Amino acid sequence: MKENPKIILSFDLDFTLIDNREGIINSFYYALKKFNLPLIEKAEIVKMIGLPLDQMFAKVSKLEPSKLSTSFREYYSLKGIYQANLFHGAIEKLEELKNSFSLGIITSKKQEIAVKLLKFLEIDGYFDYIIGETDKIKSKTASELINYLFANYVGYKFVVIGDHPNDKELADMLKSPFIGVLTGNHTSEDLKIDGSSTVIILNSISDITPDLIYSLF
């Protein structure tokens, strides 16, 4: 009988496992107001979620983005982080998948914020790694992140799960399958951008099953 491979499922956070529109929007407005900048429509902020903060702010102001990002985090770390909810059925799905696979998180959030949020939501214990932005890792597709995964998970096969084209790009860099979920702001066409990855599009993580994961290899 063929032995199942060692597999680690690498989840995005925003709009994949959690809905934190409220916290992000409020933090974004806090930063804009602090520098007396014009407010933008909520829908415009939501469309940018998933990008690094500096990239988000560079799209809406000529002010040094890092200043706005710092202000964003002032609010987010105190209040915005708690304005988030797990998607329906997320805990039950993590329980099911943890029985068969290792699980990880790769997010555009600052790593310390991501850890704090997962502890608040009481799901940090499900994950072998929680990787966010650090002084060394500036994005999901940073070479330092890719090298870390390959060095620390030798012999594992990766599956990347997320709602954003950046997650698909990460899957391409890892030469892994990609499961795109439609709980964010991107269409199935957005998530099937050119690349070498096998791609499956689902409505949400609730549609993921162990058999589906094994069928990718």
Task: Dump pLDDT digits (tens) for 97-127.
Answer: 999 999 999 998 889 999 999 999 999 999 9
Predicted confidence (pLDDT) per residue in 151-209, tens digit: 999 999 999 999 999 999 999 999 999 999 999 989 999 998 776 779 999 999 999 99
Q: CATH code at 120?
A: 3.40.50.1000
Do 94 and 195 share a domain, yes or no? yes
| pLDDT > 50? residue 1 | no
Q: Which of 30, 50, 82 marks a domain boundary?
A: 82
Do 30 and 136 share a domain, yes or no? no
Q: Which of 53, 24, 48 is nearest to 132 (CA)?
A: 53
Question: Is 49 among the domain residues?
Answer: yes
Do 11 and 114 share a domain, yes or no? yes
Do 135 and 52 share a domain, yes or no? no
How many domains is the chain partitioned into structurally? 2
**What letter does residue 174 receive in the DSSP assignment?**
H
Task: Say how many C-beta atoms besides its own lie within 10 A of residue 99's C-beta.
Answer: 8
Do 102 and 71 share a domain, yes or no? no
Do 191 and 143 share a domain, yes or no? yes
Q: What is the DSSP string of 69-110?
A: HHHHHHHHHHTGGGS-EEPTTHHHHHHHHHTTSEEEEEEEEE
Q: CATH code at 40?
A: 1.10.150.240
Do 54 and 125 share a domain, yes or no? no
Do 76 and 94 share a domain, yes or no? no
Do 57 and 145 share a domain, yes or no? no
| pLDDT > 80? residue 61 | yes
Domain range enclosing 60: 21-82
Do 93 and 197 share a domain, yes or no? yes
Question: Is 1 among the domain residues?
Answer: no
Query: Which are the contacts of 24, defined by CB distance < 8 A and separation ≥ 6?
Result: 14, 45, 46, 49, 76, 80
Mean pLDDT value of segment 29-55: 92
Mean pLDDT value of segment 53-73: 94
